[in-house]
């Protein structure tokens, strides 16, 4: 009994730094912004700021625009990352070596620099346009448009998602796949029955990270996006810094947090299910 | 012991005043009165200078802006400290867009919490923050007793800010155009609007909430045809008169660059001018001059002011009301307004001097003949924010 108490205390002490950190930099700010988002113009407390989010035409289009960009970016990033990870896991050769060596490069290029690079590459008079001009191909508008934001998101998120997914795929024992193949399972069947279920949890983790990164992104949408609709991050900055409506910005921040926590819920639930299964 | 301390303080205060007075006496060649005042003080400086307690007073100076602003202060502050070894200036540079608003918030928060100046003694910003701070009562009123060189400034600009801030330099928004493509640039606002419609896609202005040049274009269009007094009026009643202007801007949407693309930041449109995508933009004169100097813009880019003039305006220095180092700050401000420091500002920043041109050397007066005129100073307070809000919902999201 005594030993257990001791262990429990030791455990609490070990957990406390991360708990305090979480409390100070995550929980308290969220509570604070929630409280300030409830303040209305008259000085009282109600949900008028949230009502504005869904009734103002500009705000509503911003929310839908953000969700659209986020979903498209998540789908494209995961599609590309998963294919890359699969390719690197099950193929070999010079090309695979090269991909393995280079796919992390975007992680080491600062966001603003990459964004300006993309502007120079994809702009109206950019390199790509100049290269394609002799071929008679005219590019659609990429910069100052939603396509620009999606391209930037792909660039920023693929390395990390690929890293996560390929480590998950590497941990699948080759024996499972070989034995399945021996019993006559086709490629698609192996993928659907073994590979995907075994990497599903990491897939969810990658999805969570990409989703949260994209929904809260600022630099790329600010510099590459259209003036309207705006992504929530850009709009939040404008409402906070330019219009000086702190409470409204707090409401937008809290709403973004709610959107993220929906995904967080699924993530935590699958983690808990896993833990229960292991017990 | 207490008495000794007191006399030391008195001595150092004396030393400080001496430094102030002798500093202006040395620089101000044409200002007779400060030089006169310096004479009696000089005799007392002999008594004050041997005092070992004259520890330099250090005050913090927060400023924001692009790299050129930092370069400017990096030059001016050592010049000042060389002349006044009793005062040290601690510069705190906050790059543009990296949280300049929180600096003001910090000043306000420190005041509300009863923590004095919050260690921000002097702050540099535009007219919005000046009027915001005047409303919140955080700036100290300035007068010529503390800062003799204030007399060099146009009294009208000082009245505009109720003596709460020092306009130490200014620049104006002008039309920057590529003279290789535009032979005769528009000279009035209506000519400009016609030009935009006749040359679709060749004009761009930036999102007004992200930079002053776009904001100036928007404001100029909105206040076109309104009484002149309205540009010095922050009464929300004026908002009702904006409709015609906003309709013009909405209509203009399909003729501007990319059929309604408004790049972010002042630099956004300059980039478009540099790579030839557009031919005319509103831009800050100092940015154009500097980038021409650095060959970032083609040599063919020229500038033109229109009538009614675009917004031009000073950048201000404000003293925190709760700062306890006001003497040292006044000394510094007096230096900044001296013709000597103003020459540096003009050459480094390509801006217009903050003091009246008649106080500058003949060469400087010639350089700015006709160029520093024609712009208007808008002082519409919080209405600027309302313009941005309405622009976002009416023009950008039309």
Q: Which residue of A has its CA nearest to B98?
A: A241
Q: What is the mean pLDDT of chain B?
A: 80
* CA of A126 vs chain B CAs: smallest distance (Å): 9
Residue B13 pLDDT level (bands cut at 50, 70, 90): low
Taking the Cβ of residue A116 and every Cβ of chain B, the question of whether any pair is shorter than 8 Å is answered with no
Q: Is residue A61 a part of any domain in this protein?
A: yes
The answer on A59 and A24 residing in a single domain is no
Distance between CA atoms of residues A98 and A120, nearest Å: 26
Six-digit token string for B134 = 């005047």
Provide the number of CB pairs (under 8 Å) joining chain A to chain B.
44
Q: What CATH number does residue A224 fall under? A: 1.10.3720.10
Residues A184, A211 share a domain: yes
Q: Do B101 and A123 touch (CB under 8 A)?
A: no
Retrieve residue B351's tokens.
């801006």
Q: Note the pLDDT of residue B225.
A: 84
Please tell me the predicted confidence (pLDDT) of residue B248: 93
The answer to whether the Cβ–Cβ distance between A144 and B258 falls below 8 Å is yes
The answer to whether residue A272 scores a pLDDT higher than 90 is no
Task: Give the β-pairing of B312-319 and B352-353.
Answer: unpaired
Residue B9 banded pLDDT, cuts 50, 70, 90? low
Residue B2 has pLDDT above 70, yes or no: no
CB contact under 8 A, B392 and A124: no
| Shortest CA distance from B398: residue in chain A | A228
Whether residue B385 and residue A243 make contact (CB cut-off 8 A), yes or no, is yes
Both A118 and A5 in one domain: the answer is no
Which pLDDT belongs to residue B50? Answer: 41
Do A242 and B260 count as a contact with CB atoms less than 8 A apart?
no
Percentage of residues in chain A having pLDDT higher than 70: 99
Rounded Cα distance, A155 and A178, in Å = 34
Note the pTM of the prediction, 2 decimals. Answer: 0.71
Going by pLDDT thresholds of 50, 70 and 90, the confidence category of residue B167 is confident
Q: Span B270-284, mean pLDDT?
A: 92
Pick from B114-118, B175-179, B290-294 the range whose average pLDDT is largest: B175-179
- Measure CB to CB from residue A125 to each of B260, B275, B392 and give the nearest one: B275
What's the CA gap between B143 and A165, in Å, rounded? 67
For the segment B188-216, the average pLDDT, to the nearest whole number, is 92
Find how far residue A3's CA is from the centre of its chain.
Answer: 43
Domain membership flag for residue A43: no
pLDDT digits (tens, 9 = 90+) for B122-138: 999 887 788 888 888 88
Residues of B in contact with A144 (CB under 8 A): 258, 261, 263
Q: Do A223 and B397 touch (CB under 8 A)?
A: no
Decide if A157 is inside a domain. Answer: yes
Distance to chain A for B130, nearest Cα, Å: 15
* Domain assignment present for A74: yes
Q: Hey, is the C-beta of A243 within 8 angstroms of any chain B C-beta? A: yes
- Specify whether A196 is located in the same domain as A230: yes
Categorise residue B256: left if φ over 0, alpha if ψ from -120 to 50, beta otherwise.
beta
Residue A10 domain boundaries: 1-37
Contact A229 B388 (CB under 8 A): no
ipTM: 0.76
Q: How far apart are alpha carbons B21 and B35 in whole angstroms?
A: 8
Q: What is the mean pLDDT of residues A19-29?
A: 91
Cβ within 8 Å, pair A141-B276: no
8 Å CB contact of A229 and B397: yes
Note whether A14 and A64 are same-domain residues.
Answer: no
Tell which residue, B313, B290, B335, has the closest CA to residue B380: B313
Q: In b/e form, how buried is each residue of A215-245, taking b as 16+ CB within 10 angstroms?
A: bbbebbbbbbbbbbbbbbbbbbbbbbbbbeb
Same domain, A32 and A57: no
Say yes or no: A155 and A270 in one domain: yes
On whether residue A181 sits in a domain, the answer given is yes
The pLDDT of residue A63 is 93
Q: Pick the residue from chain B with its C-alpha nearest to A142.
A: B258
How many domains in chain A? 2
Mean pLDDT of B234-245: 88
Q: Is the pLDDT of residue B21 over 50?
A: no
| Per-residue pLDDT at B283 exceeds 50 | yes
A222–B396: do the CB atoms touch at under 8 Å?
Answer: no
Q: Which two tokens stand for residue B195?
A: 């030009």
CB atoms within 10 A of CB B243: 12
Element (H, E) at B313: strand B312-319
A69 and A186, same domain (yes or no):
yes
| Confidence tier at B49 by pLDDT (50, 70, 90) | very low
Question: In this model, does residue B158 exceed pLDDT 90?
Answer: no
| DSSP helix/strand/coil, B256 | coil
A265 is a domain residue:
yes
* pLDDT score at B20: 46
Do A146 and A28 fall within a single domain? Answer: no
**A17 and A139: one domain?**
no
Give me the pLDDT at residue B30, please.
Answer: 39
> A244: which chain B residues are within 8 Å (Cβ-Cβ)?
385
Interface probe, candidates B108, B385, B397, chain A, greatest A C-beta count within 10 A: B397
**A194 and A80 fall within a common domain:** yes
Q: Decide which of B375 and B343 is more confident.
A: B343
CA distance B28 to chain A (A): 41
Dist. CA B262–CA B1, nearest whole Å: 67
* pLDDT 10s digits, A31-46: 998 998 898 878 788 8
pLDDT winner (highest mean) among A153-167, A255-269, B290-304, B358-372? A153-167
A89 & A17 share domain = no
Helix spans in chain A (H): 2-22, 28-37, 48-55, 57-90, 94-102, 111-122, 127-132, 146-170, 174-182, 187-190, 196-215, 219-224, 232-237, 246-278
Predicted local confidence at residue B33, as pLDDT: 39
Per-residue pLDDT tens for A150-168?
999 999 999 999 999 999 9
- Note whether B393 contacts A58, CB cutoff 8 Å: yes
- From residue B364, give the alpha-carbon distance in Å to each of A118, A148, A276, B355, B359: 43, 47, 80, 12, 10
Residue A44 lies in a domain: no
Is A172 a domain residue? yes
């Amino acid at each position: 009994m005594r030993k257990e108490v001791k262990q429990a205390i030791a455990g609490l002490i070990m957990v406390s730094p991360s708990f305090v950190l979480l409390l100070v930099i995550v929980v308290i700010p969220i509570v604070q912004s929630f409280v300030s988002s409830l303040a209305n113009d008259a000085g009282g407390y109600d949900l008028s700021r949230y009502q504005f989010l869904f009734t103002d035409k500009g705000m509503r289009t911003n929310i839908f625009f953000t969700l659209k960009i986020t979903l498209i970016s998540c789908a494209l990033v995961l599609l590309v990352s998963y294919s890359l990870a699969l390719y690197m896991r099950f193929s070999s050769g010079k090309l695979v070596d090269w991909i393995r060596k280079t796919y992390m490069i975007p992680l080491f290029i600062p966001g603003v620099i990459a964004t300006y690079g993309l502007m120079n590459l994809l702009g109206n008079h950019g390199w790509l346009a100049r290269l394609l001009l002799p071929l008679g191909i005219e590019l659609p508008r990429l910069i100052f448009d939603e396509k620009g934001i999606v391209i930037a998101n792909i660039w920023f998120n693929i390395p990390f998602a690929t890293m996560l997914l390929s480590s998950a795929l590497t941990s699948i024992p080759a024996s499972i796949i070989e034995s399945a193949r021996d019993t006559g399972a086709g490629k698609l069947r192996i993928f659907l029955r073994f590979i995907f279920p075994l990497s599903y949890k990491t897939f969810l983790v990658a999805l969570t990270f990409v989703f949260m990164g994209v929904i809260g992104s600022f630099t790329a949408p600010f510099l590459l996006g259209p003036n309207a609709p705006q992504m929530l991050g850009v709009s939040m900055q404008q409402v906070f810094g330019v219009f000086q409506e702190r409470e409204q910005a707090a409401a937008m921040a809290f709403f973004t947090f709610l959107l993220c926590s929906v995904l967080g819920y699924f993530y935590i639930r699958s983690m808990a299910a896993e833990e229960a299964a292991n017990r | 012991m207490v008495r000794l301390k007191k006399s030391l303080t008195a001595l150092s205060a004396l030393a400080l005043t001496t430094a102030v007075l002798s500093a202006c006496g040395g620089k101000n060649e044409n200002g007779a009165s400060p030089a006169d005042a310096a004479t009696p003080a000089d005799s007392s400086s002999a008594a004050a200078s041997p005092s070992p307690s004259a520890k330099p007073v250090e005050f913090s100076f927060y400023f924001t802006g692009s790299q050129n602003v930092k370069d400017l202060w990096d030059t001016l502050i050592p010049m000042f400290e060389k002349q006044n070894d009793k005062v040290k200036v601690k510069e705190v540079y906050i790059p543009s867009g990296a949280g300049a608003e929180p600096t003001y918030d910090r000043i306000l928060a420190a005041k509300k919490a009863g923590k004095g100046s919050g260690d921000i003694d002097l702050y540099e910003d535009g007219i919005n923050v000046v009027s915001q701070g005047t409303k919140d009562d955080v700036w100290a009123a300035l007068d010529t007793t503390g800062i003799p060189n204030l007399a060099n400034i146009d009294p009208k600009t000082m009245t505009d800010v109720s003596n709460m801030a020092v306009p130490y330099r200014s620049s104006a928004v002008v039309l920057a155009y590529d003279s290789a493509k535009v032979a005769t640039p528009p000279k009035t606002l209506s000519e400009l609007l016609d030009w935009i419609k006749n040359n679709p896609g060749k004009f761009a202005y930036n999102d007004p909430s992200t930079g002053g040049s776009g904001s100036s274009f928007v404001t100029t269009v909105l206040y076109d045809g309104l009484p002149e007094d309205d540009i010095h009026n922050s009464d929300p009643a004026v908002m009702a008169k904006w409709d015609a202007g906003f309709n013009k801007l909405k209509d203009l949407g399909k003729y501007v660059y990319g059929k309604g693309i408004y790049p972010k930041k002042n630099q956004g449109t300059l980039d478009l001018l540099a790579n030839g995508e557009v031919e005319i933009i509103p831009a800050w004169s100092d940015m154009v001059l500097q980038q021409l100097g650095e060959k970032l813009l083609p040599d063919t880019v020229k500038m033109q002011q229109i009538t009614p003039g675009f917004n031009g305006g000073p950048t201000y220095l404000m003293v925190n009301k709760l700062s306890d180092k006001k003497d040292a700050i006044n000394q510094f401000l007096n230096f900044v307004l001296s013709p000597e420091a103003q020459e540096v500002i003009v050459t480094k920043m390509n801006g217009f001097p903050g003091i009246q041109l008649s106080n500058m050397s003949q060469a400087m007066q010639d350089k700015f003949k006709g160029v520093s005129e024609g712009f208007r100073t808008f002082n519409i307070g919080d209405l600027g924010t309302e313009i941005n809000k309405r622009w976002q919902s009416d023009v950008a999201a039309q």
